[in-house]
Amino acid sequence: MEVMIGFVAELIKISILSCIYAFVAMLIFKIIGSYKHGSWFDRVSRKKLKLWLLSGFFISLGLFIFMFTHYGDHGLGDSARVPIGHWREIQQTNGTLTYIQEDGKVSVLAIDKFVIADDYLYGFISDMNENYNAKYFIYDLVNNNIKTYEEINGYLNFLTTKNLHERTEYKDFNYYYRQYWTGWRFWILP
């Protein structure tokens, strides 16, 4: 049910955005057509309703397709996701379970607070894991490899060898979600 409500809300947002973008496209065609009489822009801009409907349709189709791409999908309903580079992502379900998953692997790693830096995602493993007994993890985004550490010494040694900051402030999923999806992405994309 939550997914359906989220999907309907996205469709409403897409229709509003496409109406606005179609109006802007119509204005641009009108301005260009007024400077170049007899041009294609002038002929097209005379049929305002047809131009607005067609451009609105194609813009809404483009926004709808973009909504399902890697950089446009932020989750529907009770799921949320943040792209973190190299076609990888952090996902969250029900606002409580944050996890990462290697490509092609069945098991997921539930994580707590973490840092995204220099093609690495590293931080603390959540207590909700069934398959992992470790406390720390490092996810190499380039090689799609997750290493887990039970002791802090091995974890800190790896961070030091890769010149990653071990004394940085670890953030939760909501922080990175707000960082990525608010601002201009919220206002101009579905």
Compute the distance between CA of residue 88 and CA of residue 121 in angstroms, rounded to an integer: 10
**Complete DSSP assignment for the chain:** -HHHHHHHHHHHHHHHHHHHHHHHHHHHHHHHHHHSTTSHHHHHHTSHHHHHHHHHHHHHHHHHHHTTSTTT----TTEEEEEEETTEEEEEETTTEEEE--TT-S--EEEEEEEEETTEEEEEEPTT-SS---SEEEEETTTTEEEEESSHHHHHHHHHHTT--TTSPPB-HHHHHHHHHSTHHHHH--
Per-residue model confidence (pLDDT) at position 106:
66
Compute the distance between CA of residue 85 and CA of residue 102 in angstroms, rounded to an integer: 13
Per-residue model confidence (pLDDT) at position 188:
92
Compute the distance between CA of residue 164 and CA of residue 58 in angstroms, rounded to an integer: 45
The residue whose two tokens read 């607005």 is 52
Beta partners for residue 121, in sequence order: 116, 139
Residue numbers in the chain where pLDDT is lower than 50: none
Per-residue model confidence (pLDDT) at position 20:
97
Per-residue model confidence (pLDDT) at position 117:
92
Per-residue model confidence (pLDDT) at position 91:
94
